[in-house]
Amino acid sequence: MDLLINHFWELTITGLAIGAVYALVALGYTMVYGVLRLINFAHSEVFMWGSFAAVWALMAVGAGKASGLGLAGYLVIGFVAAMTVSALIAMLLERVAYRPLRKRNSPPLIALISAIGASFALSELMGLRDKPLGWFNLENLRDYLGRPRENLPLPLQIQTKAVFPVFNYDVTNIDLIVLLSAIVMMVILDQFIRRSRLGRGIRAVAMDPEAAALMGINRDRVIRLTFLIGGIMAGAAAMMYLLKIGVTRYNAGFILGVKAFTAAVLGGIGNIRGALLGGFVLGVAENYGSALFGSQWKDVVAFLLLVVILLFRPTGLLGESLGKARA
Amino acid sequence: MRVLLEVDDLCVNYGRIEAIRNVSFTVDEGEIVTLIGANGAGKTTTMKTVSGLRPVRLGSIRFQGKDITNMPAHDRPVLGIAQSPEGRGCFVGMSVLENLDMGAYARKDRKSPKVKEDLDRVFGLFPRLAERKSQVAGTMSGGEQQMLAIGRALMADPKLLLLDEPSMGLAPKLIQQIFDIVTEINKQGTTVLLVEQNAAQALKRAHRAYILETGEIVREGTGAELAADPAVKAAYLGGDT
């Protein structure tokens, strides 16, 4: 208890920072669910591939200790690499694992199996990434890849600095970078969905696919766009995760994916603002929980919270707004 | 008068079940044409096939002479086909204004002042919608949602307006009002294809009518002819016209 009280602000701020990562990944789950009524279980791997892309891109440009303008440059490179690769993987996933099934009007359960299969395939592909080197005589790339089933560290090193105090906690530059970039991404997305023509198309398809078609909205294009946006957000989250955690590995997506999915359900699946709220709530609750019961109980607290909230609000904190729209 | 819509020997299935069989009809420019029939006769299936929501098994659909049989639904609004679907299909999470905006989504001239004129036209026909511009569609009554669905279809500036059961679930007074507005829309120059269970009103308003029974067209004629026919009276009008 003392730990929670003495470190309340530290736990809150760092909880918000990791919560921002959950929230951005949760967006991908919730938006795809909104337009397809499908849980894209392979979304965690979209995140994981983005994290590797950031690490490799930064290794390629020789990133090391950095500060000031140099740091800003490396951050841009890391974010762009992660977002690009995650977006590509997400679109590939839609093209290969879901669209063929959709065209044949498969039942939802089939798409779910396809999602789980795609998740394993993408994860193991990364976990076995050293194998193809021998086949193609690219052994000299081995140093870059790292040991395939172990942690790969982010080469970029940032000197942690206190930026400004919030009560008794000094917010660090890393917290600040993570939180600010998350907020920028969220505001852009929220405005895009609410105000732009394409954003309204996405909402229309989520509310009533048939009526949307009658308005002249191409559902396939909306679905592709949704995967693209989800991928971009997951890529941004991957770079933030690296800044906070410092390493990635082939199965880094698994627990994070489960947490992000939990955040989406917590906020109300299908609801974009719900996913954001759910992510932050989960991140903060986890931190408080680990302060109260010890960090090994962190995940237990997170999932107990989910169960308790769903007992009282079965459609999540903000309700399944798009689902209700179906009735 | 030129033919706007030609439907020839249309067959549509739901799985193995034949929903409609050899349905043929035409709609001329400027007309109100109605398809009437009992529940399950295939009226809504016909409508959804014309707007592209159902795949055609056999037969053809031509619009302004162009074959659109296999054109995807989302490409048809640009040609000038707009539908107010059965059950209204309003975007319940959006405001009235946003819904009307969605109606103009596919228009090539969506940035031109013509859209504003069409919005004023819709508000002229449905003053209630003008009063409730920013209300969320899901919180409106059935009648208001019906007005919104018709208004939204008009925002596409259609050459052919498809109305699927606009009177469904409405109070008698409101039904009268909705049909008055349908007649008014037609007088303003929009061709209307109307599917109705309320045969009395539909026959009264329509220039021509077709009767669907278990997936086939069994009678056709002018609205007045059919309304005066004793067999039609007995089967569809129940004596109260």
Is 50 exceeded by the pLDDT of residue B222?
yes
Q: Is there a domain that residue B40 lies in?
A: yes
Q: What is the pTM of this model?
A: 0.93
Q: Do B105 and A210 touch (CB under 8 A)?
A: no
Tally of structural domains, chain B: 1
Residue of A214, A324, A325 lying closest to B73 (CB–CB): A214
User: Do A195 and A53 contact (CB within 8 A), yes or no?
Assistant: no
Q: First vs last Cα of chain B: how many Å apart? A: 30
Do the domain assignments include residue B38?
yes
| Chain A residue with Cα closest to B76 | A216
Given the candidates 3.40.50, 3.30.390, 3.60.21, 1.10.3470, the CATH classification of the domain at A2-136+165-324 is: 1.10.3470
Burial of A265 (0-12, 13-18, 19+ CB in 10 A): buried
Asked whether the beta carbons of B91 and A325 are under 8 A apart, the reply is yes
The confidence band for A320, taking pLDDT boundaries of 50, 70 and 90, is low
Enter the DSSP assignment of B220: E
Cα torsion through B88, B89, B91, B95, rounded to 10: -10
CA distance A288 to A297: 10
Task: With respect to residue B135, please indicate whether it lies within any of the assigned structural domains.
Answer: no
The residue segments making up the domain with residue B205 are 1-78+195-241
Confidence of residue B169 (pLDDT cuts 50, 70, 90): confident
Parallel/antiparallel/unpaired status of strands A247-248 and A152-153: antiparallel
Mean pLDDT of chain A: 92
Residue B62 lies in a domain: yes
Q: Is residue B117 part of a domain?
A: no
Residues of B in contact with A321 (CB under 8 A): 93
CB–CB of B197/B170 below 8 Å? no
The CATH number assigned to the domain holding B69 equals: 3.40.50.300
> Is the CB of residue A208 less than 8 Å away from at least one CB of chain B?
yes
**Cβ contacts of A218 on chain B, cutoff 8 Å:** 72, 74
Q: What is the pLDDT of residues A92-149, one digit of tens each?
A: 999 999 999 999 989 989 999 999 999 999 999 999 998 888 788 887 788 788 888 9
Contacts 24+ apart (CB under 8 A), B112-118: B114/B157, B115/B155, B118/B154, B118/B155, B118/B157
Residues in Cβ contact with A122 at an 8 Å cutoff, skipping those fewer than 6 apart: A42, A45, A46, A48, A49, A89, A93
Residue A112, C-beta contacts closer than 8 angstroms, at least 6 positions apart: A38, A39, A41
Give the burial string for B69-96 (b: 16+ CB within 10 Å, else e). beeebbebbebbbbbbbbbbbbbbbbeb
Q: What is the pLDDT of residues A74-95, one digit of tens each?
A: 999 999 999 999 999 999 999 9
Chains A, B: CB contacts within 8 A come to: 75
Domain membership of residue B123 (yes or no) is no
Q: Is A197 on the interface with B (CB under 8 A)?
A: yes
Tens digit of pLDDT for each residue in A149-187? Answer: 999 999 999 999 999 888 889 999 999 999 999 999 999
